[in-house]
Amino acid sequence: MTTTVRRPGTGGGPSALPAAVSASVPQVGAPGRDRFLDVLRLLVMGLVVLQHWWLPVLTRQPGELAATSVIGVDGGSTLTWFVQVMPLIFFVGGASNLLSWRSASGRGSTATAWVARRLRRIAWPVVPVAAVWIGAAHLLSVGGVPEQPVSVAAEAAGMVLWFLAVYVLVVVATPVLAAADARIGPWAAVALFAAAGLTDAARIATGSDTAGYANVVFVWLGLHQLGFLYARGALRARQGAVLVAAGAATVGVLALTGLYSPNMTGVFAMEASNVFPPNLVLASVGALQIGAAVLLRSWISAWADRPGPARVLDLLCPRLMTVYLWHMIPVSVVSGTLVYGLGVDTPQPMTVSWLLFGALGTAALTPLVVLTASLTARFEEPPRLLAGDPGPILVLASAALIGGGLGALTGIGLGVGWRPLLALAAVAAGLLLMNAPRLRRVRPVG
């Protein structure tokens, strides 16, 4: 199911962002198309793929592959402030989810039917990619390939699933948060960010990161809520300027406290970050990014609506979910061939040789990512047999299975052993459970 994102303020109309990354393919110049959101999607996806190539520092050692990070060298943390753009994809997801939910409810769809459709779009594409990784890891192990290099690649492949695990929560919460937006408007986002600040205070006071994981809810849903405001035309230039000013001021104040990490990404992180768990610094950076994007919206839209860029966006955006899930295969193939196969270690980061290595690798990687996406795009659409409204109990149980399975795969990777198989089975069980027919109420006799 792919539909069209409409410009805020143009009324209802369907909108779909499969797993918050993919988009529809209308005709070039289709009326009402908000290509501003397409540009943000493409920007985020491009930077995600580039991070996974440029940030790891791989070195071949006897019988194993040492994996560290650019973040560990001087200046590495500064780089993360420019590549951490995941807040933008939650903002885009908020805009798309609100429009989609409004359209569906206007047609008489129930909240559980809408949530079930969204969850299928999240979970189904994971099944084939996880099966390929887990199967390949077992075959390589049986074939005598050293376990440690395979484990490094499999863990990196599982790492990208964190976003989908969180997005399960986002989808389930959307009907409730849409009602909150209708009732109290921007104060819903303010409340979520305030809760994020209180969670940070509890984490700092207790010295335990565990307390901070409540911000998986507050930070990501707060950024998602800003997308609601954009979708209904309540986030324009003036509000964008407020977000930029508030975000920059908050980041500046929090940085002065010395209580927060300088690392803005959890990708191959060798130290604490502002992402795991998310915190008020990440929320503030996200608000700044969203505000800046809104301020630039007219220029971005004018460029994106031109025939050339529009065709590029229409060509690439429908496959961004596929790229996100499958790009670690070509990344691992190129990295493994260079470092483990040919003994070409990642050069010292922040040097000319490192820049040249990264650029040449990107050039080799790009056609492989395109080829992989073209071959695997068929797995993005859920089978027609996965349909229907399972009702509230089953949809919540399915969300728990899918979210839990994705979270487990994020932590343990897509490698050898029974744990990845069990986690993948949980995702598959959640899909099948949503396919169960809605339970009928039994009328009392007499």
What does the pLDDT profile of the chain (446 residues) look like in tens digits? 333 444 444 333 333 333 343 433 333 334 456 899 999 999 999 999 999 999 999 998 887 888 888 988 888 888 889 999 999 999 999 999 999 999 999 999 999 999 999 999 999 999 999 999 999 999 998 988 888 889 999 999 999 999 999 999 999 999 999 999 999 999 999 999 999 999 999 999 999 889 999 999 999 999 999 999 999 999 999 999 999 999 999 999 999 999 999 999 876 655 678 998 999 999 999 999 999 999 999 999 999 999 999 999 999 998 999 999 999 999 999 998 898 888 899 999 999 999 999 999 999 999 999 999 999 999 999 988 888 899 999 999 999 999 999 999 999 999 999 999 999 999 999 999 998 655 444 444 44
**Are 293 and 40 within 8 A, CB to CB?**
yes
The β-bridge partners of 66 are 59
Provide the H-helix boundaries in 124-276.
126-142, 147-159, 162-184, 187-206, 209-212, 215-231, 237-257
Residue 7: predicted pLDDT:
44
Give, in order, the Cα–Cα distances in Å from 276 to each of 86, 193, 281: 13, 17, 12
Residue 269: predicted pLDDT:
56
Residue 281: predicted pLDDT:
97
Residue 306: predicted pLDDT:
94
Residue 271: predicted pLDDT:
64
**Counting beta carbons within 10 angstroms of the beta carbon of residue 233, is it exposed (0 to 12), middle (13 to 18) or buried (19 or more)?**
exposed
Residue 26: predicted pLDDT:
31
Task: Give, in degrees to the nearest 5, the angle at Cα 370 between 157 and 368.
Answer: 65
**Counting beta carbons within 10 angstroms of the beta carbon of residue 354, is it exposed (0 to 12), middle (13 to 18) or buried (19 or more)?**
middle
Distance separating alpha carbons of residues 16 and 19, to the nearest angstrom:
9
Task: Give, in degrees to the nearest 5, the angle at Cα 120 between 139 and 29.
Answer: 110
Residue 23: predicted pLDDT:
37
C-alpha atoms less than 13 angstroms from C-alpha of 107 in its C-beta half-sphere: 11
Residue 8: predicted pLDDT:
45
Distance separating alpha carbons of residues 26 and 3, to the nearest angstrom:
8
Distance separating alpha carbons of residues 329 and 100, to the nearest angstrom:
32
pTM: 0.89
Residue 336: predicted pLDDT:
87
Distance separating alpha carbons of residues 114 and 98, to the nearest angstrom:
11
Residue 437: predicted pLDDT:
59
Residue 395: predicted pLDDT:
96
Distance separating alpha carbons of residues 98 and 106, to the nearest angstrom:
12
Residue 62: predicted pLDDT:
80
